[in-house]
Chains A and B, each alone.
Chain A
Amino acid sequence: MSFVTVDNVFQSYGRRPIIERVNLSVDEGEFISIVGASGCGKSTFLRLLLAQERPTRGQVTIAGAPPATEPGLDRGVVFQRYSVFPHLTVRENIVAGESFRRPWGRFFGQDRKKAQSRADTTLARCGLDHVADQYPATLSGGMQQRLAIGQALAARPRILLLDEPFGALDPGTRLSMHDFLTELRAEIGMTIFMVTHDLEEAFKLGERVLVFDKPRWDPHDPNAYGATITYDFDARDGGIPFQKLKEDTHVLQAN
């Protein structure tokens, strides 16, 4: 049974269809990249996964639970901007990942100390331990996004949603963020959905690349039809997943 199931989902704003007939099943631990032209419903699809919006038809289920009606602990998210709380220090931002579910949104006494030392561990892993007491505004864009990812993971979600997380970063920082995300993923093996504009990034990081596009197009009314998943690539091993398989089975090995 698949972990994330998207069952015949339609979403329209007013009379304008955005996405239609989307079906998808994802196993636990998969890394899904989502690409597509602007206005093709990538972000809408992510908002549906996040339960920030509810589909007009169909349903999204995670781990067999009933479809969510609002964002919750099971879905973590990192946006392109505004992903961390500007009024909290870097350490408090990580602690917030665990403490916001409490009645007062914070820990007291011994719990607080423990949460802070756990946060310091997380920060060390994100390479942010030297700025723990600073406010996010003093951090570079890459550091802020690392903080956002660390914060999302501190809440231990079932799936992680990334909405163009590296879109606002310069190319060098973007590459180091790729390494960071790859390492982190090797450690925790979480189910990740990432929306991106960058095809190279999509194939480099993702195990599956979903392409959103409009299969039907009315030149007199471009908004008449919605987008759907038009390609579902297997992106493992640089997009040629069966190469190794064939080499393993059909090519004579030395020994």
Chain B
Amino acid sequence: MQRATIMRLINIKPSRPLAVFLTLVPFVLVFVAYAIGSEIRLAENPQDKLLPAPEKVWDTAMRLISEGDRRTGRILFWHDTWASLKRLGIGISISAFVGLLFGLLIGLLPVARRLLAQFVAVLSMIPPLALLPILFIVFGLGELSKVVLIVIGTLPFLIRDLSQRVLEVPEELLVKAQTLGASSWVIAIRVALPQVMPRLIQSVRLSLGPAWLFLIAAEAIASDLGLGYRIFLVRRYLAMDVILTYVIWITILAFLIDWALRWISRHFFPWAEEGL
């Protein structure tokens, strides 16, 4: 008699509907767990502020994104978002550009490698948040110190990662380019740069997590606008509904940025598809 064979776990692949279901399960579970916890606490004390009901968070969210501030009439939610995204964008852009430049220098030129590689390795060991007071003292409490914190926090990683990627460009390609008469400059812009561009996007995606961390830390300490500032401001009133709205919004933003970067990478560097 034919025995029903039991497949190994590593060979069981979910079908499409099951895959969608499985993806949704943890989200639903977390939501349900929160709803139940909130229900229990509110049943005991309707004034409880710690776990506001999901409907209340929803109402708060709607109020935040549509109603203006009573004093100025500005919708603070969008101003906060814009202020934070601007800081994040400027910081990450500077990091990416400088990281690319130094990554190419260190990766391509043995002299620059000797000069900078160890220095960057040591720099990257400095905890950026420990430098925050210095930044506030040197650059003041304005935008500059927040952007600089993001740059300091993400740049050493980007430089190290990108120079490593440049070093991984096969020696054969560099020799080949030389036999076609390419100068160091042409090798940098026509061989190394295009080959590390997909990696740059990949590295930026990885640095976005730390970048948000440094942004919110800087905003929490000294700011008058921004997502992190708002969260730490309303903390004083135990306004969990506002905090939760902002946290969910930051998560959505981070996810969207990540998704956009992945799309850019796929769209503009189709030849690197298998490496991503």
Contact = CB atoms under 8 A, between A and B. Distances in A.
Partners in one complex: yes
Contact of B179 (A87, A103, A106, A157): A157
A76 B179 contact: yes
Given A81-B172, A102-B186, A87 B194 contact: yes
B271 A87 contact: yes
- Interface of A, secondary structure class, is loop
B180 to A, nearest CB: 4
A91 interface: no
A17 interface: no
Interface of B is mostly: helix
Given A50-B179, A72-B178, A155-B181, A104 B172 contact: no
A85 B273 CA distance: 15
A88 B270 CA distance: 11
B190 interface: yes
Given A82-B172, A85-B191, A87-B269, A72 B179 contact: yes
12 contacts: A50-B179, A52-B175, A79-B172, A81-B170, A86-B195, A87-B269, A87-B272, A102-B186, A105-B186, A106-B190, A135-B270, A137-B274
B180 A100 contact: yes
B182 interface: yes
Contacts of A135: 270-271
Interface residues of B, number: 25
Given A87-B194, A101-B186, 10 more contacts: A50-B179, A75-B179, A82-B173, A86-B272, A87-B269, A88-B194, A97-B180, A101-B180, A137-B271, A155-B181
A98 to B, nearest CB: 8
A75 B194 CA distance: 25
B180 A87 contact: no
Contact of A96 (B175, B180, B185): B180
B183 to A, nearest CB: 8
Contacts of B175: 50, 52, 71, 77, 79
Interface string B182-207: 11011001110011000000000000
B220 interface: no
B267 interface: no
Interface string A54-85: 00000000000000001111011101011101
Interface of B: 170, 172-173, 175-183, 185-186, 189-191, 194-195, 269-274
B190 A96 contact: yes
Interface residues of A, number: 33
Nearest to B170: A82
A148 to B, nearest CB: 8
A72 B181 contact: yes
Given A87-B194, A135-B271, A71 B186 contact: no
A105 B176 CA distance: 14
Contact of B178 (A71, A85, A87, A136): A71
Contacts of B269: 87
Contacts of A106: 190
A169 B134 CA distance: 60
